[in-house]
Amino acid sequence: MTRHVVFVVHPDYAHYVEQVSALLVARGVRVETLWVTEAGAEVERLAASSLVVTVHSVRADVARLMSDLKGRTPTLTLQDGVIEHRHANHEAAGGVLRYRPLHTDQIAVFGARSAGLLRSFGVSPDRIAVTGSCRIGWDDPVRKPPADGYLLITAANRPAFDLAGTAAFYRALDRILVACGEQGVPFRLRLSRGVNEKGGLCRIGLVRDQLPPELVRRFRATPVSTDSLADDLRGARAALTTPSTVTLEAMAAGVPVGHIEFDDDTAFLHPAWRVRQDTDVAAVIRDMMAPSDLKMMYQDCLLRENLEPGDSAERIVRHMERMMADPQRAFAAR
């Protein structure tokens, strides 16, 4: 009997599963991808498959679908982003708390830290596989960043969850841009479409009345990178970001990483450098651009705890094969 895996994904997440899909096809597995908007009408066809995989289970329609499939075919979530306290306690765009509860039989996570957080949320260890990320790979040891590189300034796709947080984000961002100018530090600004003017909660236009006019003008006059994140990281000597998978991607690229923290939300990942409201930003930037061995050793420990090295896609596929071979075991864990 031919094994049949169906990926239920939003179009924005389709690239997450490309490598895993290719490995499955090479093993003789039939692979199909359905957009989340289509999948709800295909419950019976999904139930007849060997395995249903979603990149995230935070949308209400995906949660309902996975509930309908419970006990009929094994279901798996691939972790797509950092599992943080702030993400877990704020509803996503679909109105469902992130991973609370977990709506699939199993989840494949980035590393030991994610597994521990899920266990603290009440997810059984039998439902968690530590595989690494299907889209963030790294080899041990990591490379050294270029000595003549720039400071990469970036943010999560959703750096804030309300308008007050959005305004605070832009104030923190402006302090960093000003400090770079005063110190003569070259920088590259990289922001997602939500932060730029194309839409989303974090558009500066939504909070311009809460910000000084010169701040808004300064931000809008600053060029934003259109290169890929991989290209931006290759030229970076250090990176400042809000808590995000960018943190792990930059660490995996060997780049010293600091967090932009503009609120008091609990965070579980604390890099060696942090920019908060009372921080001497210029001092942090100088330290990041010439990091000590001790701080880079600390960052290496964080990376190993949060992201498994090596061939994560292969580990994910092997876990999928185990679920297809013994679906009753997956059902029992749930």
Q: Where are the domains of the chain?
A: 4-136+309-333, 150-306
Task: State the pairing for strand pair 51-54/30-35.
Answer: unpaired
- Tokens describing residue 104: 């699939």
Instruction: Provide CB contacts within 8 A for 168, sequence distance 6+.
Output: 160, 262, 263
- Output DSSP code: residue 47: H
The model's pTM: 0.88
- Please tell me if the domain spanning 4-136+309-333 has the same topology as the one spanning 150-306: yes
Average pLDDT of the segment spanning 130-139:
87
Q: What is the CATH number of domain 4-136+309-333?
A: 3.40.50.2000
Average pLDDT of the segment spanning 265-269:
75
pLDDT tier at 26, thresholds 50, 70, 90? very high
Q: Is the domain defined by 150-306 classed in CATH 3.40.50.2000?
A: yes
Q: Residue 140 pLDDT more than 70? A: no
CB 233 within 8 A of CB 151: no
Mean pLDDT of the chain: 88
CB 36 within 8 A of CB 8: yes
Residue of higher predicted confidence among 123 and 196: 123
pLDDT at 198: 47
What is the full DSSP assignment across 236-301?
A: EEEEEESSSHHHHHHHHTT--EEEE--S----S---SEEE-TT--HHHHHHHHHS--HHHHHHHHH
Residue of higher predicted confidence among 193 and 126: 126
Residue of higher predicted confidence among 206 and 307: 307
pLDDT digits (tens, 9 = 90+) for 60-106: 888 889 999 999 999 999 998 877 666 666 655 556 677 778 889 99
pLDDT at 137: 80
What proportion of the chain, given as a percentage, has pLDDT over 90?
60
Phi and psi at residue 34, to the nearest 5°: -120, 135
